[in-house]
Amino acid sequence: MTPPKWPALVEDYLALRHNLGFDVEQLGWLLRNFARYAERTEHRGPLTVDLAVRWALSSGPGDPARGERRLWAVRQFARHRAVFDPATEVAPAGLLGRIPGRKPPHIYSDAEISALLRECSRLRPRGGLRPMTYVAFFSLLASTGLRLSEARRLERRDVDLAHGVLTIRMSKFRKSRLVPLHPTSMQALTGYAARRDALPDAPRSEFFFRTDRAPALDRFAVERTFSAVRRRLGWTAHGRVRRPHIHDLRHTFAVRRLVRWYEQGVDLDRKILALATYLGHAKISSTYWYLSAVPELMAVHGQRFEQFARRERESAP
């Protein structure tokens, strides 16, 4: 009997994870890449540490922690495979180094957000749907703090422009939620939708965001576009805590909201519950973490965050 090929084994594992409620988008991309590598190198037999390490290091030089992050993905898959094939080897944690802790976010200034949107408006094709889409897309991320995957998966039915509410379906942790929109965001999305539908040559799609040729925004197309825009703007890590990323728009939204509440003298412990729900955090400690990104708030709330995080750990099953 011919053993299953690596792509099939990976898809079975991802389907299991997905059905258990885990977000498998990033893990899926890595493991599918690993499966193609295993097929290309004609690996036969059980999964080995040697195969996992060779693939983890095959992406080339760059971030020193990249190899260990890639190896982490295969390690999860190997533990699963070991249940069915005891000869499977599981790479020990830290084999390729240590994955650093969560880095402080870059908080965008108003000028940087304006520059990002202005550069997106200059994308090609000039006058086409693509520049309009990316202006609207990154504007939405900045004004709502949505995750990249949440925004790009929005369907037409999820965007209620009459009432100003987004429906985020089965997002991270397999939860759904409603996200109210500010009137300015409603106005911007309404204008985008009208221009999108007025272009006769653009493909029809159930997704809210699309381009001239694609019926939906692909994650890696978005990341490539952002990287190109970042290069044109000359954004580097120089003078910043790190080089700006797309996810930093989410950080920026959360931090600005916290700063505004702090300046207004409101009870952050009460307000932060609403922010956690709005952002779709599974644990409120994830929302409290944003306080550590703002020096003015760290001294006031650092001890409170540690106390809350400790209580959450102690109450965990």
Main-chain dihedrals φ then ψ at residue 63, nearest 5 degrees: -60, 120
Distance CA 216, CA 219 (A): 10
- Is 175 catalytic? The answer is no
Distance CA 286, CA 290 (A): 7
- Is 245 catalytic? The answer is yes
Which residue is catalytic, options 70, 152, 250, 257?
250
What one-letter code names the amino acid at 203? Answer: P
For residue 104, is the peptide bond before it cis, meaning its omega torsion is within 30 degrees of 0? Answer: no
CA distance readout (Å), 283 to 9, 144, 167, 250: 32, 19, 20, 16
Other Cβ atoms closer than 10 A to 128: 16
Which residue is catalytic, options 70, 75, 81, 147?
147
CB 133 within 8 A of CB 205: no
- Is 80 catalytic? The answer is no
Which residue is catalytic, options 17, 130, 196, 245?
245
Q: In terms of C-beta density within 10 A (0-12 exposed, 13-18 middle, 19 or more buried), how is residue 82 classed?
A: middle
Which residue is catalytic, options 13, 108, 134, 290?
290
What one-letter code names the amino acid at 127? Answer: G
Q: Max Cα separation, the chain?
A: 70
- Is 147 catalytic? The answer is yes
CB 257 within 8 A of CB 264: no
- Is 281 catalytic? The answer is yes
DSSP per-residue string spanning 68-104 = HHHHHHHHHHHHHHHHH-TT---PPTTTT-----PPP
- The token pair at 146 is 């949505």
Which residue is catalytic, options 70, 251, 257, 281?
281
Which residue is catalytic, options 66, 69, 172, 177?
172
Q: Residues with catalytic annotation?
A: 147, 172, 245, 250, 281, 290
